[in-house]
Structure 1
Amino acid sequence: MPLTRKAYRAAILHSIADPAEVGIDASYEYFEDGLLVIDNGRISAVGHAGDLLPTLPADIDVTHYQDALITPGLIDTHIHLPQTGMVGAYGEQLLDWLNTYTFPCESQFADKAHADEVADIFIKELLRNGTTTALVFGSVHPQSVNSFFEAAEKLDLRMIAGKVMMDRNAPDYLTDTPQSGYEQSKALIERWHGKGRLHYAVTPRFAPTSTPEQLALAGQLLGEYPDLYMQTHISENKQEVEWVKALFPERNGYLDVYDHYKLLGERSVFAHGVHLCDEECARLAQTGSAVAFCPTSNFFLGSGLFNLPMAEKHKLHVGLGTDVGGGTSFSLLQTLNEAYKVMQLQGARLSPFKSLYLTTLGGARALRLEDKIGTLQPGTDADFLVLDYNATPLLSYRLKQANNIAETLFVLMTLGDDRTVLQTYAAGQLVHQR
């Protein structure tokens, strides 16, 4: 197979460390006139165009972007495929919202044609918004995951997904059993986990919708296969937290339910965590677990404000999640706009470089994929974006007033959305062109 080598020239920016640990200046690399070199779907070099161009063959194909910024592909650590058709549903908090909108919408995924159609729309929306990796909830139906992985595999995307396990406190038409949930998950793992750039996540919806028997079998699956992911929800809403205490009176709080059933670990991602306490943050960090911070959804459903400074204090891995359909946008840029406000309301700051970290390298670390995605370091997958400084008239005018990359980045995160993403590349292939 011939070597396919291409180069892309523009301003280039990527995170190389967490600003909370190394300080802002040491957390990123920026090349005002940069060059990104791709060989066979992987990054082989990144640096100043003036340094790299003389080292390359004269006939190399160089794509030169004006007024644009190349960044790593964005990483969404919490999103629901089956809720695409009910995003922006009016007027409820979490538990009523699930019963009124979510469960009826998810019931349609037993039908393959419906699952295929939504998987196609969902993946196009991710790529249009610059999201190249997502940790995805399916519905209770295996078909939801098969349709998603079939569509993702065609584009060689790095994606993680799982079938929801839910055997109580949900409508009869939407529940499995401990045994069927286990067997269906196992069949999906055998078919998809580790195939191409796809990974499987064991997915108990949240503690209230799984019996102890089901949670025990979810833990058993994690023990049976190496490198599996686990995704669920935790401490999103105060009513939900109280409900968990009533359902599991023998356990010492919400996190302890998951801990007891062996669901914490290096590839376990807990969505929301708005109402976690210090001890729970410490335990999550100790086990290598991660939290998905979902500000847009937490505002929309009135859930509360995630305490990012507390997570940082415990060195807890945190990624960003859109949580569509509780969240109202597939855009991680828009989600960062909301994350900034969450911090402001708590008297804390969110620097643009910490925001960049959360949506790229931080998300990759939360997923234990930092050797493959989340940066533009040589050897990693060539998943990257081209952001257009002239995407809208206001953005174009505003960015002309920006004096440095910090200001440019912050404006992109407050005024930017899907229109800002000019192109999205996955494994070196163009998968979205605006």
Structure 2
Amino acid sequence: MQAYRAALLRFDDQHRPLYDPDGLLVTAPDEWGVHTVRAAGAYGALIEQFPGLGVHDWRDRLIAPGFVDMHVHYPQTDVIGSPADGLLPWLEHYTFPHEARFSDPAYACGVAAFFFDELQRHGVTTALTFATSHPASVTAAFEAAQARGLRFITGKVLQDRNSPDGVRDETEQSLIDSETLLQRWHGVDRLGYAITPRFAPSCTPAQLRGAGELAARYPATWIQSHVAENRDEVRWAHELFPEAGSYLGVYGDFGLLRQRAVYAHCIHLSEDDRALMQRSGAVAAVCPTSNLFLGSGFFDYLAADAAGMGYGLASDVGGGTSFSPFKTMLAAYFVGREGQTKPGLSLQPSQLWWQHTAGAAHALGLKGVVGNLQPGNEADFVVLNPEATPLLARRTQQADSLEELLFALIVLGDERVVTQTFSAGLKAQALNRT
């Protein structure tokens, strides 16, 4: 067993924060050797249940669930911050040329190693990630995540049309490669496979149909793609699939809307689209820094909540501008203020935090597994320093509520706040900031 004394944040089943200013977190390995939470709560109420247990004393720190990133592109690590007029020019000029390099396994391994170190440096312990159309990119990512003990999901990108040489794949072989990778990696350690059409305009009907058949044969896998990010993209999808009821409906027509289906962006959806998301169990990955950077639009929280559709937060690197969950939560706050059916929504800091931890885990179908620090959850957590910078220290010392403390961290925090990251109870060696 391991025990940690610090301020402690977690969430109940109604999405409400549970906070112990002087808390105790106790972890121990399960039958597979993965550390899980055995107890979490007030130090004074729990410590007598564990006589003689040594305790790591971090009373000047905050322990919180590890962050969950619902949508990120590891091959785009090196195109973050590239200027463009919008989504489609950005893909043409930066993303596709760079992704073509991932046919080289050695290059893919080098980027994957940097990417996962960066995730852990920012406190991200679970990620649903795009690779490229090259099988070598998928293998490199799984191997790097496995070596770090991360809970991680990815898959080979499917794109057999409207894509340049170097990233365009061949329909039949792309589906064979996807199934081969799925059978090799899904369910190994903490890894999962995602069937990954890049987006409907990059896939022929035959490839989408094959993806849907894979999804039906392997219901425990994930599905990930993009939808309704940009108005030009929406018009393009309508031109390519005129028989579909909507851009989102294209995926439904091919059996790609179900539980564990995650669609990035979901900005330009109709009321009917949101109802379809709710009925099917598909969820949205909200990518506020990317949407603001590319000028794509705003995710409508009020409309999503009215429809009852699920969602969680995502960085969307490299369209997204930071690996930092703090930057993502702050951007989501701006989106809430500006981009709603009725502008002026003020998302509570604890709501934003929930969207990037327990809420994102719930949306991924991993409720009770990651994203929270309730007993039974895997011991993915971050140790945060509320005084990591002089300005942050000055502000947090004056916080007189949990919401003020969390909002100060969101507004003023960055990776310097993350002093240690634990994945399934194992500490990332690259951190250890004091």
Q: TM-score, normalised by structure 1?
A: 0.96
Counterparts in 2 of 1:120-135, with a 5 A limit? 120-135=113-128
Q: Which residue is equivalent to 1:294?
A: 287
Q: Which residue is equivalent to 1:433?
A: 432
Match of 2:77 among 81, 84, 87: 84
Aligned length: 422
8 Å CA contact retained: 1:15, 1:360:
no
Q: Which residue is equivalent to 1:36?
A: 25
State the alpha-carbon separation in 1 of the partners of residues 216 and 105 from structure 2: 31
Code of the aligned partner of 1:76: D
Structure 1 residue 309: Cα displacement:
1.1
State the alpha-carbon separation in 1 of the partners of residues 187 and 371 from structure 2: 19
State the alpha-carbon separation in 2 of the partners of residues 133 and 298 from structure 1: 22
Match of 2:320 among 297, 318, 327: 327
State the alpha-carbon separation in 1 of the partners of residues 180 and 392 from structure 2: 48
User: Which secondary structure state, in structure 1, belongs to the residue aligned with residue 262 of structure 2?
Assistant: strand
8 Å CA contact retained: 1:9, 1:63:
yes
Structure 1 residue 57: Cα displacement:
2.7
8 Å CA contact retained: 2:160, 2:207:
yes
Match of 1:136 among 123, 129, 148: 129
Code of the aligned partner of 1:39: A
Q: Which residue is equivalent to 2:50?
A: 56
1:382 matched to 2:379 = yes
1:16 matched to 2:12 = yes
Task: Write out per-residue CA displacement over residues 274-319 of structure 1, whole angstroms, 9 at most, x where no aligned residue.
Answer: 1111110111011111000000000000000110111111121101
8 Å CA contact retained: 1:78, 1:292:
yes
8 Å CA contact retained: 1:15, 1:356:
no
Structure 1 residue 173: Cα displacement:
1.7
1:404 matched to 2:398 = no
State the alpha-carbon separation in 2 of the partners of residues 100 and 209 from structure 1: 16
Structure 1 residue 18: Cα displacement:
4.8
1:245 matched to 2:238 = yes
User: Which secondary structure state, in structure 1, belongs to the residue aligned with residue 55 of structure 2?
Assistant: strand
Code of the aligned partner of 1:368: G
1:203 matched to 2:196 = yes
Code of the aligned partner of 2:136: Q
1:222 matched to 2:218 = no
Q: Which residue is equivalent to 1:395?
A: 392
Q: Which residue is equivalent to 1:419?
A: 416
Q: Which residue is equivalent to 2:32?
A: none
Match of 1:45 among 30, 39, 47: 39
State the alpha-carbon separation in 2 of the partners of residues 17 and 309 from structure 1: 21
Q: Which residue is equivalent to 2:360?
A: 363
State the alpha-carbon separation in 2 of the partners of residues 433 and 313 from structure 1: 43
State the alpha-carbon separation in 2 of the partners of residues 334 and 145 from structure 1: 27
State the alpha-carbon separation in 2 of the partners of residues 392 and 188 from structure 1: 44
Structure 1 residue 187: Cα displacement:
0.9
Q: Which residue is equivalent to 1:24?
A: none
Task: Write out per-residue CA displacement over residues 140-194 of structure 1, whole angstroms, 9 at most, x where no aligned residue.
Answer: 1011110111011112211000110000001022111221110111111011000
User: Which secondary structure state, in structure 2, belongs to the residue aligned with residue 75 of structure 1?
Assistant: strand
State the alpha-carbon separation in 2 of the partners of residues 185 and 418 from structure 1: 35
Structure 2: segments with no counterpart, 5+ residues: 30-34
Code of the aligned partner of 1:45: A
Counterparts in 2 of 1:171-320, with a 5 A limit? 171-320=164-313
Counterparts in 2 of 1:87-106, with a 5 A limit? 87-106=80-99
Structure 1 residue 90: Cα displacement:
1.0
Residues 18, 87 of structure 1: alpha-carbon distance in 2 compared, 3 angstrom cutoff = farther
Structure 1 residue 241: Cα displacement:
0.3
Aligned Cα root-mean-square deviation (Å): 0.9
Ranges of 4+ aligned residues in structure 1 off by more than 2 Å: none
8 Å CA contact retained: 2:312, 2:360:
yes
8 Å CA contact retained: 1:75, 1:134:
yes
Task: Write out per-residue CA displacement over residues 360-413 of structure 1, whole angstroms, 9 at most, x where no aligned residue.
Answer: 111011110012011111111000111101111111111111111110001111
State the alpha-carbon separation in 2 of the partners of residues 293 and 274 from structure 1: 9
User: Which secondary structure state, in structure 2, belongs to the residue aligned with residue 348 of structure 1?
Assistant: coil
8 Å CA contact retained: 1:324, 1:330:
yes
8 Å CA contact retained: 1:16, 1:361:
no
Identical columns (%): 46
Structure 1 residue 430: Cα displacement:
0.4
Structure 1 residue 347: Cα displacement:
1.5
Task: Write out per-residue CA displacement over residues 313-358 of structure 1, whole angstroms, 9 at most, x where no aligned residue.
Answer: 1121101010000001001111001110111113211101110110
Structure 1: segments with no counterpart, 5+ residues: 20-26
8 Å CA contact retained: 1:201, 1:229:
yes
Residues 114, 18 of structure 1: alpha-carbon distance in 2 compared, 3 angstrom cutoff = farther
Q: TM-score, normalised by structure 2?
A: 0.96
Structure 1 residue 17: Cα displacement:
3.4
User: Which secondary structure state, in structure 2, belongs to the residue aligned with residue 61 of structure 1?
Assistant: coil
8 Å CA contact retained: 2:99, 2:132:
yes
